[in-house]
Amino acid sequence: MSKKKSPFTHLNDLPRGVDILHNPILNKGTAFTLKERQVLGLKGLLPPHVLTQDEQKVKVLSAFRGKQSDLEKYIYLLALQDRNEYLFYRLIIDEIEEMMPIIYTPTVGKACQEFAHIYRRPRGIYISSNDQGSIKQILSNWIYKDLDVIVVTDGERILGLGDLGADGMGIPIGKLSLYTACGGIDPARTLPITIDVGTNNKELLAEPLYIGLRQNRLRGEKYDALIDEFMEAVTEQFPDVLIQFEDFANQNAKRLLEKYRNDYCMFNDDIQGTGSVTLAGLLSAMRLLKTQLKDQKILFYGAGSAAFGIAEMIVQKMMQSGLSIEKARKQIYFIDSKGLVVKSRNNLNELKLLYAHSFEENSDFLSAVKVAQPSILIGVSGQGGAFTEPLIREMGRVNSHPIIFALSNPTSKSECTAEQAYNWTGGRAIFASGSPFDPVQIENKKFYPGQGNNAYIFPGVGLGVVVSKSSLITDEMFIVAADTLANMVTEKDLKKGRMYPSLTKICDISYKIAIKVANIAFDKNIARIPTPENLEKTVRDTMFSPEYPVYI
């Protein structure tokens, strides 16, 4: 990683005194040198002893581990990020396996549910439906004018928790933390945004401390006009920025992706990122079983935008193996709230029609598994415990090694636990989940379940887009990201039941994905800069390091 560059070009541009201490992008706290303290007007404002960043890290890690609950740990980290971003990212990067479940799933879900109560300092930008006509002016209020990545949500489908309105801001904040910690995106060049169009969550509307608009959600043409204005204003204000859509509801997620993807540098992580990381896990499973994805039958429990995003990514990968698109889709089945998606049902939407099969209507999940006899079961339903013991045992009856991906999160929404999947199949299941699970001991073998965490994918894709200044983000980029990730799973990982590499490798994973993604941008002529002489060095030099800058 490269040495952190100050966003201020000249020493004279730096704030002085308490102003620099209150700027988390510039603050080093007790690590300011004696000379810096003298020149920057800090003498007397800090204790006299100068600490190294390593010494500071020991202090904050001890305080972190002393917190009694995961939510307390989340609040502590948020406060650290608000006062010293360097130290925050030093801690996150060095202790990524311990910190990831706190700064993102599953703890971020609880943090969003409690957001109004734990809100301390403003972070990011809130745009409400009352701001129509003035979005560009609002964006101009942001202190930094050169941005690389924006993560935006309208808060309607926060993880598997549903409509949390403006309290969903915890998601863009958390995602951008991962962009920096896992992908090396400079935190000074990121911006979390919540578009508050109201909420249909009655509990929030009745909550005295709720921070968002107290109205039902804006729908229809007025909603679309607001999002249109937002997209135009963002790209005018920040011309090279990547825009990641996050946790939009099914009725808007796919529709907005198709509307904007050919005109803006944008993607939807719930659709494309989830599709890519799931595909990577399946490719790892194919390596373990020494078989091919094109030969598998896949059943999705859940038929929302994430499910279809995964399915379409799988279809494209199957087509690379020689299957036609029609044949590939015939390998995939869906169960929605009414049961197995079949052709005889009325009022199927366009996506469901593509995957409808010629079976009799059947609303019973277990019966549907018996009819379809899938080798792969993927849960994206948001319904905790949906994968029951009879269901998992049936998967084990028809498959020597059933592949069970329970991807809903947070943990309470997971379709089954790792322990259940392994126990109910006698340790034969190949398991992955959306939220982390502890290792499971079955007789004399210990299994280490993998987490299909989108953080394996979107930071690297984002870094590749930033380096190449790609004007568009394509599905091909997510497929190559999946291939790259799967190839970094070692034989040792596979033998332990891990379908994903250790999180300790995530910065290197992002680096390699970024190179592949940037190459696609250059090869497809969608990059807005010439191909650099040494792309690998350019990617490495772009990556943020939490090492303190030397101001003087």
Return the active site residues. Answer: 104, 175
How many whole angstroms separate alpha carbon 194 and alpha carbon 519?
A: 32
409, 106 contact by CB (below 8 A): yes
How many whole angstroms separate alpha carbon 103 and alpha carbon 92?
A: 9
How many whole angstroms separate alpha carbon 132 and alpha carbon 137?
A: 11
Phi and psi based region of residue 135 (left: phi greater than 0; alpha: psi -120 to 50; beta: remaining): alpha
How many whole angstroms separate alpha carbon 387 and alpha carbon 170?
A: 29
Residue 546 has a CB neighbour count (10 Å cut-off) of: 22
How many whole angstroms separate alpha carbon 303 and alpha carbon 84?
A: 42
Give the phi and the psi of residue 36 in degrees, each rounded to 5. Answer: -65, -40
User: Which of 103, 101, 48 minimizes the C-alpha distance to 79?
Assistant: 103
**Upper half-sphere CA count for residue 18 (Cβ side, 13 Å):** 1
How would you classify the pairing of strands 376-379 and 298-301? parallel
How many whole angstroms separate alpha carbon 187 and alpha carbon 146?
A: 11
Q: How many whole angstroms from its chain centre is CA 302?
A: 19
Q: Which residues contact 330 (CB under 8 A, 6 or more apart)?
A: 357
Report the DSSP beta bridge partners of residue 440: 447
Give the phi and the psi of residue 214 in degrees, each rounded to 5. Answer: -95, 75
CA trace torsion 183, 187, 188, 190 (10° rounding): 80
Name the H helices within 40-169.
53-65, 70-83, 85-94, 96-103, 107-113, 115-118, 135-139
Cα–Cα distances (Å) from 74 to 27, 109, 155, 433, 548, in that order, read 21, 11, 20, 22, 23
Cα–Cα distances (Å) from 237 to 133, 140, 143, 276, 407, in that order, read 15, 7, 12, 30, 36
Give the phi and the psi of residue 149 in degrees, each rounded to 5. Answer: -140, 135
In DSSP notation, 21-68 reads: HT-TTT--GGGS-HHHHHHTT-TTTS-SSPPPHHHHHHHHHHHHHT-S
Give the phi and the psi of residue 326 in degrees, each rounded to 5. Answer: -65, -45
In a 10 Å sphere around its CB, with 0-12 CB exposed, 13-18 middle and 19+ buried, how is residue 54 labelled? exposed
